[in-house]
Chains A and B, each alone.
Chain A
Amino acid sequence: MTVIETRAKRGDASDGTGAGGTLGTRLSRVEGIVKIKGAAPYALEHRPANLAHAVLVQTTIAAGRVRAIDSAAAAAAPGVLLIITPDNALPLKTATNWLGVKPSEGPYRPLTGDITFYGQHVAAVVAETFEQATEAAALLNITYDEAPAIPSLDGAGEGTVVDALSADWGDAAGALAAAPVRIEHEYRTPREYNVPIEPHGLIAQWESDTLTLWEPSQWIDFMARTYAEWFEIPFDNVRIISPYVGGGFGSKGFAYPHGAIAAIAAKMLGRAVKLAVTRPQTFTAFGGRAETRQTIALGATREGKLLSIVHRSANETSIKDVWAERCGTVTGIMYATPNFSSRHSIVPVNTVTPGALRAPGENPSAFAIECAIDELAYEVDMDPLQIRLLNYTEKDQHANKPWSTRQLREAYAAGAEAFGWSKRSPKPRSMRDGRQLIGWGVAAGTYPVRRTAGQALVRILADGTVEVASAGIDMGQGTYTILAQTAAGALDVPVDHVTVKLGDSRLPSAPVAGGSQLANLMTAAVHKAAHAAREELIGLALNDPNSPFQALQANTLVIANGRIAAPRDSGPGISIADLLRRIGRDQIEALRDTFAENATNPDDRFRNFTTITTMRAPTDGDYSMHSWCAHFIEVKVDEDFGTVRVSRVVSALDSGRLYNPKLAESQWKGGIIMGIGQALLEEGVVDRRNGRVVNNNLGDYLIATNADIPDIQVISVGIPDHHASALGGKGVGELSIVGVAPAIANAVYHATGKRIRDLPITLEKVLQH
């Protein structure tokens, strides 16, 4: 199946661009076969001996204190082994957080009687079987002293401005006041949830002071550090095993209270404990995207040229912790404006601390600015695509740096061409198909290039096959596949001779699989390690007395299709396996990293893999680096019923060089589909009486189904960006959701003449207007 062309190796990023199976080709997922057979082991599928089952119990008030937990009935239920409550849970130590900060030196209590949100864990029941634990958990009788709660952002006040997120240039207020055209509107997005189809959970097992966790993870090293610090054991005493992750979308990067509770239970019982968070419990076991509100005021000339942007935004956070959904991240970089002002506030409410969900910050940010620019287009009677080109910015005005690459003009052109944008009738309500109003909308998106150092191990084995190893993970982005492709290309072996091992803290460390950074940093590390292994192999072949090439006195050798030969020798050479046998080596191993040459301090390296403090900003360096996209979307709105269906999507995206277009296109489509759900379906509904998330299940919290999704065309307009990464890629995974919701909102306006500024765009909003 694999044909590898023989070619000279330059050892730089231009290698491996075309041959079968190597980077740039449309290789199918290498781990696909085990997934389609149901043979891929996800975390909870590990079956240790003597396993006990834990079931969580969550609060039914949003604020106050637990008065008492009567556990007599539960304790007497069949099979019950242990009931953990705030009174008997082992106190842990506070761990360093992802920002590298330890909030206190005091104890950490994953179960506490101090209640700050509905659905907070308050107890856990452990029993011999899952059924017994579930039954006993329902028998706990918990009483509360309830206190007033703030259920959601509405009526929660103005909050606190996060100064670090403020941005200003020019005189935004003055220029807005003086602008001939002014528009100002508020845009809102609701609580949204990650809902990976694999729910959270883990199996925890202790052997003396060593803790092993089978737990899905986007960030093994940080989670291992958290457990180590909680339990005051050395980092190396924690092993996390996560070879397959059933989706994460930002939600599987941290160790959460339920993880602590499972590990406590396993320690208290001296048995392996499985804790599966139920689907309803996942809605408050960790946070999804915070609810946001934004006000955008645009000042412009009558010709549509921006003069000023004034942006004010806020998101909900929890009572106890800070989460900023940074709504200004796109506002300041998408369009050229001489005057700009942005402020972002956080507002505490009685919720679980919100978290990262696909493109945190950029996603709601783009919703507001991309709707606002569309509103301006109608205000000045201009085509929505034309106004975007008119206000195109040639540099990052905030950072005052040029773009590394910005193929956004190309994205507009390619998307518009494929969509047929020129055939659009400009007026709202001017296109229809019977009782269906047709609307065409456009919006842009962007996501920053994030960079953290990585490392990887590449091993050439005695049989000539190759092993790549990293604690980095694959939750469907294609890590297994592109790392196999990278090694195959660098070593010139068939890709099916490469085995990739991921997702185990025993393997070389990796930073978070988040911020769309993992593919870039891991391909760079594997590329480097594979070339080091290749050089060592060639060196041995040239110099080892038992090598058939030793007598040649050659300067170098070529490797092709797993065979090694002299450069101008017409002979077939010998296989790598033969060479290793002749020179008496059972393997060649290279561990390489992408740290700066002088960065050898072990503490700094540990920090790099276990915090985000070493993650480089997109503007760190001479350029501002981002991926870009443009979405062209058609909706059909039923005139009588107000139902909105997306009927066509064409998106053109600039993610730089694609390491595997087949997999990148799948990820792009996945982001677009999540964006369709965000625009039309997804909303965490909060009961204002008690702060409960009412629709905490997959039947009521609606995500897109197959029938909601039309044909989607994605077009790559990227070019290799070697400022952004060693091999030329930019971010893929998060980019494509950014801009989808505003493109749909803009299309709904074009279809109906109704401007809906709060997501999701449900039929009652369409009918109400």
Chain B
Amino acid sequence: MSDPTISMQLEVNQRVHTLRLEPRVTLLDALREHLGLTGTKKGCDQGQCGACTVHVDGARVLACLTLAAQVQGRPVTTIEGLSSNGGDLHPVQAAFLEHDAFQCGYCTPGQIMSAVACIREGHAGSDAEIREYMSGNLCRCGAYPNIVVAVRQAAEDLR
């Protein structure tokens, strides 16, 4: 049988990785299973929970609904690439910690990646707007009110 894999180059967190994967491998599985970047979470694998949110070209996308092959040549940022190389927390991460904006922590990387983009998009102008634009990320522990406070504060810190 012919080799079903193809070679692809993925630029993740400013590092280029060359992988041989089947074209049907999602970005989420490429990150978690092949690059060891397990900070991006699989919560539903069908685009409904937001746990796999990463940035592609700076915009938030669901890695479970994106094929790895689709993002060749487009920079991908995951939760592991959010804090600085020196280890300083991103203001959104710091705000999540301070305001206890998570419990089990499983939806948290996706929430944080969404929050960073939400602020960058200019959708953190009010609590109502933050709630609306953060509603693609489900949290079963129910950290929503604390997430709103954290996003509001991070938006102010980044202003």
Contact = CB atoms under 8 A, between A and B. Distances in A.
20 contacts: A28-B98, A32-B100, A35-B108, A45-B38, A197-B41, A197-B49, A197-B106, A197-B107, A198-B104, A246-B104, A278-B45, A477-B103, A478-B103, A662-B100, A670-B143, A698-B44, A704-B142, A705-B144, A706-B130, A706-B135
Nearest to B37: A38
A709 B44 contact: no
Contact of B102 (A35, A41, A195): A35
Interface in B29-51: 29, 32-33, 36-49, 51
A40 B106 CA distance: 9
B43 A198 contact: yes
A338 B29 CA distance: 62
B104 A476 contact: yes
Interface in A694-726: 697-699, 703-709, 711-712
A666 B104 CA distance: 11
Given A197-B107, A697-B48, A698-B138, 6 more contacts: A36-B102, A42-B106, A131-B22, A244-B105, A278-B45, A709-B131
A47 B51 CA distance: 20
The residue in A28, A41, A706 that gathers the most chain B C-beta atoms within 10 A of its C-beta is A706
Contacts of B93: 36-37
B138 A703 contact: yes
Chain B interface size, under 10 / 10 to 19 / 20 to 34 / 35 or more: 35 or more
A142 to B, nearest CB: 23
Contacts of A31: 105
A673 B43 contact: no
A80 interface: no
Interface string A181-195: 000000000000011
Interface in A15-70: 28-29, 31-33, 35-42, 44-45, 47
B46 A697 contact: yes
Interface of B (DSSP majority class): loop
Given A476-B141, A706-B137, A698 B36 contact: no
Contacts of A246: 41, 104-107
A130 interface: yes
B43 A197 contact: yes
A278 B49 CA distance: 13
A198 B142 contact: no
A709 B4 CA distance: 47
Interface in A167-220: 194-199
A656 B140 CA distance: 25
Contacts of B109: 36, 38
Interface of B: 1, 4, 22, 24-25, 29, 32-33, 36-49, 51, 78-80, 82-83, 89, 93, 96-98, 100, 102-109, 112, 130-132, 134-135, 137-148
B42 A199 contact: yes
Contacts of A130: 29, 33
B140 A197 contact: yes
**Top 4 A-B pairs ranked by shortest CB distance?**
A38-B39, A476-B103, A246-B106, A670-B142
A246 B44 CA distance: 13
A482 to B, nearest CB: 13
A372 interface: no
A450 interface: no
A41 B138 contact: no
Interface of A: 28-29, 31-33, 35-42, 44-45, 47, 78, 129-131, 194-199, 244-247, 249, 276, 278-279, 475-478, 662-663, 666-667, 669-674, 697-699, 703-709, 711-712
Given A198-B43, A669-B142, A707 B105 contact: no
A698 B49 contact: yes
B104 A706 contact: no
A47 B36 contact: yes
A131 B48 CA distance: 20
Contacts of B40: 38
B104 A247 contact: yes
A245 B131 CA distance: 26
B102 A247 contact: no
B142 A33 contact: no
Contacts of B42: 44, 199, 276
Given A45-B32, A671-B142, A197 B104 contact: yes
B118 to A, nearest CB: 11
Contact of B38 (A32, A38, A131): A38
Contacts of B36: 47
Contact of A37 (B29, B32, B79): B79
A130 B33 CA distance: 9
Contacts of A249: 140
Given A28-B98, A35-B108, A705-B135, A667 B44 contact: no
A563 to B, nearest CB: 29
Contact of B44 (A29, A35, A38, A697): A697
